[in-house]
């Protein structure tokens, strides 16, 4: 997490420094020629049934932090007024002296479209008749100390392609959704009891077109990407995609984690309607969509949220709370009702307007701890003298209660890297209310173990077993994300010890352990076919590797694991119930073999895993089992399609009365080097 912010900071502390802001230099002075509105503004939406004008109730609820559809009032909206079609603009700038609308439609002249102020909240609005969709605009803000700022629209639904920084007028109300079957089905599901294998994807670097003059970056449009990713994900067997970098951001190297347009899908890949098409198409193909969401911080770019009206509107005014020293970014003021409303409404915007199925909330720990990334003297204790951000705690409880309460079947996922208690606990029981949490502890221990020379694994056996001491304290997702394959950390395959073939065998064993372990799963793109290079946002994945035998065999193996996962409820129904997992032998450190059982709710089709993490074959291996039953081999890493020897072996094994692993019954199995065997019983 910290690496991506640091990288963005190194590339330019202000992440939009690559280009000048459209309209930044427009205008020669405010002057006195302001056009006065002579009558009350009554602006109607396209169906002519709803008044858009900022009213007293809008201001009241926004001030209370409970105007959950404020994005329908603030921003730019196609509208009618006095029989004329045009666009209605509204912005919150409470400490501005005056605000005017500037754009390519008025020559960026600050005197042409002054905006009317609405108190007590300090909202401004204006209606511009005849304004076409696609028009570029900004707000010119005259500050209390006499400065003039050109700001993009915080609630704008689109922006021009970087390095331009203006907002763009669009209409997101006319898209015709066709995912009603998915949406109705989602309402009835409990995500914790459903299969969830997430494919984490950065759309701009998953695949690229050859660069052309029209498309120098080679980006796939959202619609092209929809068809390509849906086909691939269905073929592999993932249940969800998690999309990185969708909210508008100035700098590619930030990977989308320094946002300037919270209500705008990035224009790198097309229009908001194109993005709607992507979500709609994935839903039609029974694939869920999760977005990265970044309420932790925002960049200092001149056109963004930082000091929006010349004062700290969105961020804490005290730099000890309002800035991240390591990242060079601003921190949202979670004590301000309007700011919390901005963020909660934004989460609802993506879920309710764009139909996404959940949000993965970035850098939660940096929000919860007042001293996160700060030295002594760089932070302010709370009223009790502690380091917990009490305002942020209340924010998360409010956020998750509203989002999940209004949208049953969706998920709110915390990337929280500490041992903060009850992240997925109920708010009424002093929990934060998230649906799930990334299991960062498991990830660190797992990778440390997998990097070891197999000889030394016997001395580090507990790295793979320790996680079960806390697995049921939260509702976890096991993650091998983008953060683990960047900044000299190596790709997954190159983390593995040994020579060429050993690396692939190790990785298959590791992925098998991950799949069998309780918790939902996430794997970053490219690691399913053993991408050799570290990931870079500047290039596409190394798809050419699939012409090489070991790489397509690895892809086959991951596909087989995902198929096994979806076909056997034992692997996901009881992720959060201790009855769903049972060690057979957690202490075979001398041979570095792990054996365990995943139990289904019904007691049928339980799965027994046996995984060998050394290059030593065990042809006489015996495993203890709970019943004198027939055990059917349903997955063997030794199959030729996975790069194994292809040695013939029985499909079924009869347990006999012979004590092993502290159990009265057992059966023998010819376990190969780095062998994985999964049995159904």
Q: What is the pLDDT of residues 482-510, one digit of tens each?
A: 999 999 999 999 999 999 999 999 999 99
pLDDT at 66 over 90: yes
**Nearest one of 432, 359, 425, 437 to 396, comparing CA atoms:** 432
In the predicted model, what is the mean pLDDT of the chain? 92
Structure token digits, residue 268: 């790198």
What are the C-alpha distances in Å from 560 to residues 238, 459, 620, 671? 11, 31, 26, 19
Given a cut of 70, whether residue 235 has pLDDT beyond it is yes
Output the pLDDT for position 426.
Answer: 97
Instruction: List pLDDT tens digits, range 344-402.
Output: 999 999 999 999 999 999 999 999 999 999 999 899 999 999 999 999 999 999 999 99
Residue-level pLDDT at 407: 97
Q: What is the pLDDT of residue 29?
A: 38
pLDDT value of residue 595: 97
| Contacts by residues 647-651 (CB-CB < 8 Å, ≥ 24 positions apart) | 647/672
Tell me the pLDDT band of 32, cut-offs 50, 70 and 90: very low
User: Would you give the distance in Å from CA 32 to the centre of its chain?
Assistant: 47
Q: Each residue of 69-112: pLDDT tens digit?
A: 999 999 999 998 888 899 999 999 999 999 999 999 999 999 99
Q: Where are the alpha helices (DSSP H) in 407-476?
A: 440-451, 454-457, 462-465
Contact between residue 62 and residue 341 where contact means Cβ atoms under 8 Å apart: yes
Average pLDDT for residues 179-197, to the nearest whole number?
Answer: 96
CA-CA distance, 587 to 464, in Å (whole number)? 10
Percent of the chain with pLDDT strictly greater than 90 = 90
- 120, 283, 350, 379, 456 from 161: Cα distances, Å: 35, 27, 21, 37, 51
Mean pLDDT of 14-34: 38
> 326: pLDDT confidence band, cut at 50, 70 and 90?
confident
Cα dist. 426→177, 295, 358, 395 in Å?
33, 21, 18, 14
Check residue 82 and give its pLDDT: 83
Please give the average per-residue pLDDT across 298-307, as a whole number.
97
Q: How far apart are CA 432 and CA 429, in angstroms?
A: 9
Q: Which of 561, 553, 552 is nearest to 523 (CA)?
A: 561
Task: Kindly report the pTM of this predicted structure.
Answer: 0.92
Between 300 and 20, residue with greater pLDDT? 300
Tokens (6 digits) for 626: 């709970």
What are 612's strand-pairing partners? 593
CA distances from 512 to 487, 623, 667, 675, 676 (A): 26, 18, 21, 10, 7
Sequential DSSP letters for 499-566: SHHHHHHHHHHHHHHHHHSSSEEEEETTGGGT--SPP-TTS---GGGGGSHHHHHHHHHHHHHHHHHH
Could you read off the pLDDT of 388-426 as tens digits, one per residue?
A: 999 999 999 999 999 999 999 999 999 999 999 999 999
**What mean pLDDT is predicted for residues 220-237?**
98
Task: Decide the pairing of beta strands 607-612 and 593-598.
Answer: antiparallel
Packed helices 272-284 and 180-187: angle between N→C axes, nearest 10 degrees: 70
Provide the pLDDT for residue 46. Answer: 42
pLDDT for position 47: 46
pLDDT-based confidence at residue 156 (cuts at 50, 70, 90): very high
Encode 566-589: b = buried (16+ Cβ within 10 Å), e = exposed.
Answer: eebbbbbbbbbeeebbeebbbebb
> For residue 635, what are the β-bridge partners?
678
- Reply yes or no on whether the pLDDT at 194 is more than 70: yes
pLDDT at res. 480: 98
Q: Which of 23-27, 66-70, 332-336, 676-680 has the lowest mean pLDDT?
A: 23-27
> Is the confidence at residue 114, as pLDDT, over 80?
yes
**pLDDT at residue number 569:** 97
pLDDT confidence bin for 553, thresholds 50/70/90: very high
Q: Can the peptide bond before residue 481 be classed as cis, meaning omega within 30 degrees of 0?
A: no
**Residue 29 contacts residue 21 (beta carbons within 8 Å):** no
Q: What is the three-class DSSP state of 348? A: helix
At residue 452, the pLDDT reads 97
pLDDT score recorded for residue 13: 37
The confidence band for 24, taking pLDDT boundaries of 50, 70 and 90, is very low
Query: Who has greater pLDDT, 341 or 2?
Result: 341
- Report helix, strand or coil for 659: strand
Edge to edge, the sheet with strand 652-654 lists 581-585, 593-598, 607-612, 676-680, 630-636, 652-654
Percent of the chain with pLDDT over 70: 93
Q: Out of 248, 333, 338, 415, which one is annotated catalytic?
A: 415
The yes-or-no answer on residue 416 being catalytic is no
The radius of gyration of the chain's CA atoms, rounded to the nearest angstrom, is 27
DSSP letter assigned to residue 349: I
Q: Is 323 a catalytic residue?
A: no
pLDDT the model gives residue 115: 97
Residue 14 confidence (pLDDT): 37
- What is the reported pLDDT for 2? 47
**205: which DSSP letter?**
H
CB atoms within 10 A of CB 174: 9
Is the CB of residue 639 less than 8 Å from the CB of residue 574? no
pLDDT of residue 674 exceeding 90: yes
Q: Residue 238 pLDDT > 50, yes or no?
A: yes
| Active-site entry in 273, 315, 362, 537 | 362
pLDDT reading at 324 higher than 60:
yes
- Please tell me the distance from the alpha carbon of residue 252 to that of residue 229, in angstroms, as a whole number: 21
Confidence check: pLDDT of 219 > 60: yes
Summarised one tens digit per residue, pLDDT across range 433-477 is 999 999 999 999 999 999 999 999 999 999 999 999 999 999 999
- Structure confidence at residue 429 (pLDDT): 96
Lookup result for tokens 């970035």: 362
């Amino acid at each position: 997490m910290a690496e991506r912010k640091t990288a963005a900071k190194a590339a330019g502390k202000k992440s939009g420094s690559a280009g000048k802001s459209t309209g930044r230099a427009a205008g020669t002075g405010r002057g006195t020629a302001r056009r006065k509105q002579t009558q009350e503004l009554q602006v109607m939406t396209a169906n002519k049934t709803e008044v858009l004008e900022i009213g007293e109730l809008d201001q009241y609820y926004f001030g209370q932090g409970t105007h959950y559809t404020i994005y329908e009032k603030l921003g730019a909206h196609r509208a009618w007024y006095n029989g004329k079609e045009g666009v209605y603009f509204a912005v919150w700038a409470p400490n501005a002296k005056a605000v005017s609308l500037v754009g390519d439609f008025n020559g960026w002249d600050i005197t042409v479209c002054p905006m009317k102020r609405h108190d007590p909240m300090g909202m401004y609005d204006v209606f511009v008749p005849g304004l076409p969709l696609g028009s570029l605009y900004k707000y010119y803000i005259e500050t209390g100390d006499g400065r003039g700022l050109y700001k993009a629209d915080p609630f704008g639904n689109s922006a021009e392609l970087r390095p331009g920084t203006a907002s763009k007028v669009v209409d997101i109300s006319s898209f015709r959704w066709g995912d009603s079957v998915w949406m109705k089905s989602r309402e009835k599901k409990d995500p914790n009891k459903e299969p969830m294998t997430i494919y984490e994807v950065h759309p701009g670097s998953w695949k690229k077109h050859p660069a052309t003059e029209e498309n120098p970056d080679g980006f796939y449009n959202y619609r092209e990407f929809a068809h390509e990713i849906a086909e691939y994900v269905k073929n592999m067997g993932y249940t969800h995609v998690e999309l990185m970098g969708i909210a508008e951001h100035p700098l590619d190297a930030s990977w989308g984690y320094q946002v300037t347009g919270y209500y705008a899908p990035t224009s790198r890949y097309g229009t908001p309607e194109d993005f709607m098409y992507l979500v709609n198409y994935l839903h039609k193909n029974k694939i869920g969509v999760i977005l990265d969401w970044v309420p932790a911080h925002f960049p200092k770019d001149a056109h963004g949220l930082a000091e929006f009206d010349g004062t700290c509107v969105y961020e804490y005014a005290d730099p000890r709370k309002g800035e991240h020293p390591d990242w060079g970014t601003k921190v949202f003021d979670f004590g301000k009702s309007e700011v919390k409303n901005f963020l909660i409404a934004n989460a609802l915007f993506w879920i309710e307007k764009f139909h996404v199925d959940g949000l993965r909330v970035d850098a939660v720990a940096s929000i919860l701890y007042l001293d996160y990334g700060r030295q002594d003297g760089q932070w302010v204790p709370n009223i009790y003298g502690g380091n917990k951000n009490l305002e942020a705690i209340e924010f998360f409880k409010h956020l998750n209660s509203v989002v999940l309460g209004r949208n049953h079947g969706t998920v709110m996922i915390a990337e929280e890297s500490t041992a903060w208690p009850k992240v997925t606990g109920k708010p009424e029981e002093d929990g934060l209310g998230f649906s799930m949490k990334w299991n960062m502890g498991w990830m660190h221990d797992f990778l440390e173990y997998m990097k070891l020379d197999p000889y030394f694994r016997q001395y580090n056996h507990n790295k793979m077993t320790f996680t079960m001491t806390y697995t049921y304290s939260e509702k976890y997702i096991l993650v091998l994300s983008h953060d683990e394959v960047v900044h000299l950390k190596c790709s997954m395959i190159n983390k593995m010890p040994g020579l060429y073939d050993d690396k692939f065998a190790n990785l298959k064993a590791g992925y098998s352990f991950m799949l069998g372990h309780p918790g939902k799963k996430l794997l970053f793109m490219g690691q399913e076919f053993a991408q050799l290079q570290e990931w870079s946002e500047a290039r596409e994945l190394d798809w050419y590797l699939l012409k090489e035998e070991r790489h397509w065999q690895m892809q086959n193996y991951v596909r087989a694991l995902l198929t096994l996962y979806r076909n056997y409820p034992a692997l996901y129904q009881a992720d959060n119930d201790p009855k769903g997992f049972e060690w057979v032998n957690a202490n075979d450190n001398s041979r570095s073999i792990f054996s365990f059982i995943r139990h289904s709710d019904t007691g049928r089709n339980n799965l027994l895993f046996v995984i060998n993490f050394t290059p030593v074959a065990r042809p006489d291996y015996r495993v203890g089992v709970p019943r004198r039953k027939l055990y059917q081999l349903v997955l063997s890493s030794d199959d030729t399609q996975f790069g194994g020897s292809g040695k013939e072996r029985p499909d079924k094994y009869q347990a006999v009365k012979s004590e092993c692993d502290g159990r009265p019954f057992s059966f023998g199995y010819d376990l190969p080097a780095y062998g994985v065997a999964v049995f159904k019983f």
